[in-house]
Amino acid sequence: MRVAVTGANGLLGGEAVAQLAGSHQVLALGRGPCRLPPGPFAWADADLGDGRSAERALLDFGAQAVLHAGAHTDVDGCERDPDAAWRVNVGGTEQVARACRALPARLVAVSTDYVFDGRAGPYGEEDLPCPRGVYARTKLCGEEAALVLAPGAAVARVSVVYSGRPGAKPTFATQIVEKLSRGEPVKAFADQWVSPTLAASGAATCLELLLESDYAGVLHASGATVLDRVDFAERVARRFGLRGQILGVPTASVKLPAPRPLRGGLRVERARRLLRHGPIDADEAIDRFHAEWQRRSA
């Protein structure tokens, strides 16, 4: 099958390309040059924010299925530059969805638990979004663009993505390991409840949804355990055999440009029911993260 992945230099997109390559004809799309290890896939340099290049690349490739994982994910950067956030998260998703409708190709667009305000999480698919902040608002508009413009599309929401893959960008999880290994304390927001999503597991869930299911609409595809960031940091530290200080701090103690949902997190029963590679529990994900980390440092 001809499968395309946007955001291929990213945490989730990079994993998806690695999982697909070899079994499918793969087009990986990203901004600028490819930063993935070489493999059996083609690369397209396509800026999601320029109005046409991703759409053209998908049409030229003749994609049959598209995982749209590219996004402006810098939450505070989006708050500072709403035009850029809109261009990429809404305009970029529009381009991808239009291409999918024209081809036609099945579309799974990745989104976020930030579409909820974090007053009463964890949230199920039927709960009404109430985004706060530019990133959250543009991601919700991107969801609508996918669902409106690409018939039969699915939106897969994830939360706090992390990866131990070589070359993967730093995340909260990798900072926990690196700081504690250096003997430095880790600060963690004690009042933010999230559903951490190991990129490899989230990518497997999204790909099964894309290639083996015709589910249309929103599906929660994050990690299966809802926990606060201190609990997450303590579990990571325990698994890595690291001692040291994990300091819980309130979100309000740090001045951040964009608001953060507090009581967030996603309920994933539906994805677990529907899919073989559905959401996994936090400790299993952290075990896999640990194995990725060992391979990376070997």
**Catalytic residue chosen out of the listed positions 123, 135, 162, 215:** 135
Q: How far is the CB of 12 from ligand NAP (least distance, A)?
A: 4
Q: How far is the CB of 180 from ligand NAP (least distance, A)?
A: 20
Give the interface segment with ligand NAP, choosing from 104-112, 181-189, 208-216, 247-255 (CB under 6 A): 104-112
Among 17, 88, 136, 280, binds ligand NAP (CB under 6 A): 88
Query: Helix or strand or coil: residue 67?
Result: strand
End-to-end CA distance of the chain: 34
Among 5, 18, 145, 161, binds ligand NAP (CB under 6 A): 161
Q: Is 118 left (phi over 0), alpha (psi -120 to 50) or beta?
A: left
The full DSSP string for 168-196 is PPP-HHHHHHHHHHTT--EEEETT-EE--
* Cα gap 232→295, rounded to integer Å: 22
Q: Which is nearer to ligand NAP, 139 or 187 (CB)?
A: 139
**Touching ligand NAP, residues 130-159 (CB under 6 A):** 139, 158-159
How many CB atoms are located within 10 Å of the residue 178 CB? 12
Site string for ligand NAP, 41-60 (x = CB under 6 A): ------xxx-----------
Task: Mark whether 123 is an active-site residue.
Answer: no
List, in sequence order, the alpha helices (H) in 21-128.
53-61, 75-80, 82-85, 92-102
Interface ranges with ligand NAP (CB under 6 A): 7, 9-13, 30-32, 47-49, 69-73, 88, 110-112, 139, 158-161, 169
